[in-house]
Structure 1
Amino acid sequence: MSEEGYRVWAVPGLPEILPGDDLAKMIATAEPTLVDGDVLVVTSKVVSKAEGRSVPATDREAAIDAETVRVVARRGRLRVVENRQGLVMAAAGVDASNTPTGTVLLLPEDPDASARRLRDGVRAALGVTVGVIVTDTSGRPWRAGLTDMAIGAAGVRVLDDLRGASDGHGNPLGATVVATADELAAAGDLVKGKLAGLPVAVVRGLDHLVDAEDGTGARALVRDARDDMFRLGTSEAVREALTLRRTVRRFSDEPVDGEAVRRAVASAVTAPAPHHTTPWRFVLLESPASRTRLVDAMREAWIADLRGDGKSEESITRRVRRGDVLRDAPYLVVPCLVTDGAHHYGDARRDAAEREMFVVAAGAGVQNLLVALAGERLGSAWVSSTMFCRDVVREVLGLPADWDPMGAVAVGHPAEEPRPRARRDPEAFIEVR
């Protein structure tokens, strides 16, 4: 920043923008005193109008649908979505204000390209090199109120990376990356306002933020999905975790965080259960020795059972190999059912139904566990094999006699991306009466 600081003012005198208008030339005419290093802050609404992005839409919701790539969060009719420009915002940025009835304004098709065209147009008209920010209004997580943010940029340093520098006390800055383009957008909005009909502002005195090259554009401000800790709303996060819940049979060598598994267990034990009971127990096999002992003992039990069934050695080898996922997994969880609190009626039919209630509760707990593991970005495979040799499992793991192992869950980081899941039509599983 220069010693004099900086100035921000709105550009007066711009007429109503119509499709096909040369917006850069109109700005240059309205503000002919632009100089090198100025930053133009331009509301996306006038960019969209000039680019003919006003479309007929008697149904705004249909227009939002067409611009939506992914629903991030929904509350009633309000939707926060990722739009086709990669921006996360309410209603995909579709605007029904300041446009004729029966039409809506879409965001510019490519806001960074729009900013480059404006920059080139001003340079051609006035012979000056300016930076350009294209803005739109957005809400923010955890904060009330709206502010403008940069959705397009050209010739402006959109991010100012201060990592590695030191503060006034000599402390190194390890995480400070300033969103300068968003700060410029907000500064411009202070003088443009929302109701004054002033869609363009000029920021002067911040020449160090203006570059000769067009630069990365505002797309660089969009956080990568892998680094976004708040990618989804609550219900959408649950649905995505359900979608991510896939059977994984090949794991990488990356170690499993035991605390992540414990968080998944905390979710598992929120499952419904009969009579206010807690029928779940989870045995965590964190050491390689414990996993090997269990898998070897179960393998011997399976082989003995299969030989007793008269299976050939070739068939036995093939069937036993299915348990390799447990041997290869870096972490195992053995869910167990405990029927403390079950009612005993002295009637075979009712006692069988009572046990089934507890088995269903155990299954709900396992499902919660698998979904929560997916939410932790851990793959899993539920294998029912422990239920065929429960006595062996109890003996090897030193479990109480009333703990019923309900399979084993292999846990780890997937070695490869899962194949796309075939879509199942829910109507095929529904009967309405």
Structure 2
Amino acid sequence: MPVGTRVEYIALQDIRRVEPGEDLAALIGQSLAGMSLELQRGDILVIAQKIVSKSEGRYVRLSDVEPSPAALELAATVGKDPRFLEVVLRESSEVVKTRPNVVIAAHRLGFVMANAGIDQSNIEHREGEERVLLLPKDPDGSAQRLKVALDAAGDLNLGIIINDSFGRPWRNGVVGVAIGAAGIPSLLSQIGVPDMFGRAMRVTEIAIADEIAGAASLLMGQAGQGMPIILVRGLTLDGPVLPAAALARPKSQDMFR
């Protein structure tokens, strides 16, 4: 279980605009040095999905996209750019729900989200050329590579979370959730653990990575705040390491699809 009575969330400062090929570990090191901070064993870093995708060059120019018949048909229903929808369909395994100006899709990685996580906000559209940004190809792999690079500085055993903003079926507004993770128990089972009255819990699982990501999003913001990396300190997690992929509910267990 999480252990600690005090947890700090620290937004790293002076993070420049990330370009394809950017070394995020070096970027983090520069920011920490500028703030006179050093990573400590067990620290967790929450990284905004957008800068991970940008560093991996996950851009698509809409001028390069030829809409398929399926994208054209979907565009007639929802009123979105058929080129944009073509990219959504390419990244999706299933269109779950639509209405005018809304497409909820199951991303090929298992996440069910608006537009399969494809976005045009907070990215540069150079010389008037429209671009979209895709999710990382393998967010858990991206988190693991960053962990390895940062752990190399010492005996740190860091946790890494890549977070994104998701809407929820029964609630208004978006919250931060983990789409990639390394070095932490993203999903922690409490099945069989006694509650405060000694009764064994039967179904409880805690989405640890999502809870950490959601709190980090308070500092990151959703618009132009420019704080895409959050250092989390003081939280000790005891449980088997699991990637964020463990958080995606299989369709066979989904009561609403």
Q: Residue in 2 aligned with 1:124?
A: 152
Change (3 A) 1:86 1:154: same
Q: Residue in 2 aligned with 1:55?
A: 60
Q: CA deviation at 1:140?
A: 0.8
Q: How does 1:244-263 map to 2 (within 5 A)?
A: none
Q: How does 1:16-415 map to 2 (within 5 A)?
A: 16-31=17-32, 32-58=37-63, 59-101=83-125, 102-125=130-153, 127-195=155-223, 196-209=225-238, 215-231=241-257
Q: CA deviation at 1:72?
A: 0.9
Q: 2 CA distance for matches of 1:103 and 1:124?
A: 35
Q: 1 CA distance for matches of 2:97 and 2:3?
A: 43
Q: 2 CA distance for matches of 1:126 and 1:46?
A: 25
Q: CA deviation at 1:183?
A: 0.2
Q: CA deviation at 1:85?
A: 1.8
Q: Residue in 1 aligned with 2:73?
A: none
Greater relative contact order (CA < 8 Å, ≥ 6 in sequence): 2
Q: CA deviation at 1:137?
A: 0.5
Q: CA deviation at 1:77?
A: 3.3
Change (3 A) 1:67 1:41: same
Change (3 A) 1:163 1:2: closer
Q: How does 1:416-431 map to 2 (within 5 A)?
A: none
Q: CA deviation at 1:198?
A: 0.3
Q: CA deviation at 1:127?
A: 5.0
Q: CA deviation at 1:84?
A: 1.9
Change (3 A) 1:170 1:208: same
Q: 2 CA distance for matches of 1:210 and 1:42?
A: 22
Deviation digits for residues 392-418 of structure 1, max 9, x if unmatched? xxxxxxxxxxxxxxxxxxxxxxxxxxx
Deviation digits for residues 13-34 of structure 1, max 9, x if unmatched? 1111000010112112212511
Q: Residue in 2 aligned with 1:349?
A: none
Assess if the C-alpha contact under 8 Å between 1:37 and 1:210 holds in 2. Answer: no
Runs of 5+ consecutive residues of structure 2 not aligned to the other structure: 64-82
Q: 2 CA distance for matches of 1:82 and 1:4?
A: 38
Aligned partner of residue 94 in structure 2, secondary structure: strand
Q: Residue in 1 aligned with 2:75?
A: none
Q: Residue in 2 aligned with 1:354?
A: none
Q: Which amino acid aligns with 2:99?
A: R
Q: TM-score, normalised by structure 1?
A: 0.51
How many correspondences in the alignment?
228
Higher helix share: 1
Identity in percent: 39
Structure number with bigger Rg: 1
Q: Which amino acid aligns with 1:146?
A: V
Q: 2 CA distance for matches of 1:77 and 1:153?
A: 31
Q: Which amino acid aligns with 1:201?
A: I
Aligned partner of residue 134 in structure 1, secondary structure: strand
Q: CA deviation at 1:187?
A: 1.0
Assess if the C-alpha contact under 8 Å between 1:192 and 1:200 holds in 2. Answer: yes
